[in-house]
Amino acid sequence: MLKESLHGPADRSSDPGLLQPDRPRPARPGAPVILFLAVVAALVAAYLVYALLRPEDF
């Protein structure tokens, strides 16, 4: 039996199938994107350190 709520439709929080997707979601390529961004960040950081400490300035 569903509980009636004063602020909207009946409460269905006890229904285990409510949050299940209707169809499986395709896998997203998250790891390669994160790896690419990490490499770009490392290259930018290396360039900034080089620009800060380059021997021509001493």
Domain presence at residue 5: no
- Full-model pTM: 0.49
Structure tokens at 34: 């994160």
Domain presence at residue 10: no
Domain count, the chain: 1
pLDDT digits (tens, 9 = 90+) for 15-57: 666 677 778 877 777 888 999 999 999 999 999 999 999 877 6
Domain presence at residue 46: yes
Domain presence at residue 47: yes
Task: DSSP for 3-50, please give it.
Answer: EEETTEEEE-TT-TTTTS-SSPPPPP-HHHHHHHHHHHHHHHHHHHHH
Domain presence at residue 4: no
Parent domain of 34: 29-57
